[in-house]
Each structure stands twice: as C-alpha cells, then as structure tokens.
Amino acid sequence: MPPYQFDPARFDVAAFLRDHWQKKPLLIRNPWQAWENPLEADELAGLACEEDVEARLISRAREAWKMEHGPIPETRFSKLDKDTWTLLVQAVDHQVPQVAALVAPFRFVPNWRIDDVMVSYASDGGGVGPHFDNYDVFLIQGLGRRRWRIGQHCDDKTELLPHDDLRLLAHFEPTDEWVLEPGDMLYVPPGFAHDGVAVGDECMTYSIGFRAPARSELVAHWCDRVLETLGDDDRYTDPDLQAQPNPGEISDEAITRLQQMVAETLLNRPAFARWFGEYTSTPKYPAVDWRPEEEIYAEGMRSALESGAVLLRNPAARFAFLREAEGDTVLFVNGRTIECPGGLAQLAERLCAEDRLEFDTADALSDDACALLAELVSEGSLAFEDED
C-alpha cells in the first residue's frame, strides 16, 4: 500500500489551517513524499457497474448536459468514444484499501468531519460544469491533467441553470486558473465556484470531501430524537396563575414559561452530545460486509491476539468517541452507543485513532476489552489483517 504522507517542506498543515481552511483556495504542487496513483481506470469502471455503489455518468453534447445514475451497464462504456464525459463514483475508499489510505494524511481534521473519497475519470474535455459545494474539498490529481478554474463565492441566492440533476452556475466568473499534474492538490473551501476540465484522456481525480451539517439538518434530526423521549403527560402548568385584566392577552410570564419548557429539553447538552455521536457515526453508504463466516468470542479473540493477530478497521465503518463531564468515555460505532468505563476508555480511543491495531501482548487486555473487540469483528467493523 503506498505510504501517503505529506512532505512538510511542501505542505505546512499548521499554516494551511491558519491561512486557508474555510477562508480561501490553495494550490499545492505535489505535496507528497511519494505519489503513486492508487486505482486503475478499469477498477473504477467495475465499481460503477455494481448495485450497491453510488455512481454517476455525466456527458455533454454541445451545450446540453446529461446525467445517468448507476449502476452503469458495462456496455455503456463502449458507446462513449464520441462524447465528452465524466464518471463519478462515491465512497471508493470504502471499497478499495489503497484509496482509503489517501485519507490518513488528512487526519488533522477530526474524523467526524471526513466524509468519503469520490473518484472521477474523464475523457478529454470532460467535467461536471461550473458549480459550488457547501463543504470543504481537496482535489488530488491521480492520473493525467485537469485544468481547474476558481471563481466567485456563492450562496443559496446564487443563480443556477435549470437542470433536474445538476447544480450548474448560470454565471461563472473565474479569478484563478491552474493545470494540475499527477500528485498536485487543490483545496477549495465551501461556497467557492470551481470548474475542472480534463486536459487529454485518462484524467483521474480524487475528491476528499468533508461533512458540514446544515443547521436545519441538526435541528430537524435532534428534534426528532427529543420527540421520541417525550410523553403526553409532560404539559404546561401554572399553579401561580392570577387573574389578568384582559383574558385575551398571552402574558410575558406565560411566554417565558412556555419557552423554558422547549429550551430545557432542546438545550440538554449531555443528551445532545450522545445523540450527535450516534448521528454522525451512522454510515452514509451501506457498509462493505466484513463479517466473518463464524462469530468470534472473547476467548477466541484473546487467543488470536496472543498469536500475533492484527486488527484492521473497516473503512466503511464510522468510529467516534466522547468524553463526558463525569469522566466516562462513550464509543460510537456505526450509529451505536457503547459504554466504555474504566480500562475500556483507552481501547475506545485507540479504535478511533488507528486504522490498524497491534497489541504487544493480549495479557494487557481485560476480558471486557477482548469481548468488545470480538463483538466489533463479529459485526464487521473490524477484521483480522490476514483475512480477505
């Protein structure tokens, strides 16, 4: 697996976060210690043909844009020779370990903010048109060359072209332009217009996107969870009611009391934190099935680790943990809450920080730790390294 690591002399993470993150675009010329393209074009096309993989084929004839949703029939690719087209496949890091390795250098951003790696492959002149995203993205050139133009900052009021599937800008005002070679990387903050066009054939680009929950999304889903916990007998009360001059008035006292009923429930920080841990760790795409043929138990896990077994984290699984005010640690795995008291806290933190787990000696692991690891292997969130 290629060792994807940034060369500090070519990409200063601290300076990037200070000067560019969510502020302004940045072109970084080949910031890697060693660059190697992790995926072949035929592999990407094969993924696009699968039922459980999200794929799109965008083509353009004259000024007309067309988008086809996957799975893409294999025969469709043989009919694309005369078209200008782009193939987009989401969450390729969930399917291909070599692509998943691309995410590791970006761990300076919290894991819960990292979404997935989308891979695009385009013919000469292919692209998806001028557009903007509501999230941060790093665009890494894998094969071939692509011309990127960066434009104005956009928002919900920016005019779009009428199209059922694509969010194309009605007006694009480029301010910067670069041609990216293999290994080059372009960072685009949320809201900045950009347009990438393949220069020559065999143009492959890796897009590492980041989650940015909308306020409306958080409010809607958090309120749904709160409603699940409320009963009809939790009602407004006013035992200190006094007669008021006009019975038609809604008094300030009533409004204050009503608002407090809502605020006390919605502003429950510990409950919100646990809900968000479950919410943000829920996979967006179906997890790649890593479940073993036979369930493993704590004893079997200890025996395997004593024999030198190494555990790998499923790239499609989402891990996060939370330190609560009382000092307790809570682990979230694929939307599920796992209490990790005492010595399990350290293991929970390792599970969230490391893609590959080695243990010097299984003797240092408690029975509860072995049971937790066995549970995660049995459900497919972890797997032994030597298994397919």
Which domains, and CATH codes, for the chain? 13-210 (2.60.120.650), 214-230+252-267 (no CATH), 298-384 (3.40.366.30)
- The values of phi and psi at residue 107, to 5°, are -70, 5
CB of 4 within 8 A of CB of 102?
yes
Q: How far is CA 228 from CA 48, 279, 323, in A?
A: 39, 15, 24
| For residue 327, pLDDT beyond 90 | no
| For residue 3, pLDDT beyond 80 | no
User: What's the whole-model pTM score?
Assistant: 0.91
pLDDT digits (tens, 9 = 90+) for 111-137: 999 999 999 999 999 999 999 999 999
pLDDT digits (tens, 9 = 90+) for 330-371: 999 999 999 999 889 999 999 999 999 998 876 678 999 999
Query: What pLDDT is attached to residue 363?
Result: 63
In this prediction, residue 220 has a pLDDT band, given cuts at 50, 70 and 90, of: very high
- The whole-angstrom separation of Cα 202 and Cα 263 is 55
In this prediction, residue 287 has a pLDDT band, given cuts at 50, 70 and 90, of: low
Query: What pLDDT is attached to residue 158?
Result: 96
| For residue 42, pLDDT beyond 60 | yes
Mean pLDDT calculated for residue range 62-69: 87
Here the contacts of 101-109 (C-beta below 8 Å, separation 24 or greater) are 101/1, 101/2, 101/4, 101/38, 102/4, 102/38, 102/140, 102/206, 102/208, 103/208, 103/315, 104/4, 104/355, 105/4, 105/5, 105/6, 106/138, 106/208, 108/13, 108/17, 109/210
Query: What pLDDT is attached to residue 60?
Result: 86
DSSP state of 385: T
- The whole-angstrom separation of Cα 189 and Cα 24 is 6
CB of 6 within 8 A of CB of 97?
no
CA atoms within 13 A on the CB side of 371: 8
Residue 252: which H helix or E strand, with range?
helix 252-266
| For residue 1, pLDDT beyond 90 | no
Query: What pLDDT is attached to residue 164?
Result: 86
Q: How far is CA 104 from CA 5, 81, 116, 355, in A?
A: 8, 36, 12, 9
Beta bridge partners of 114: 210
- The values of phi and psi at residue 41, to 5°, are -60, -40
Residues 6+ apart with CB under 8 A from 218: none
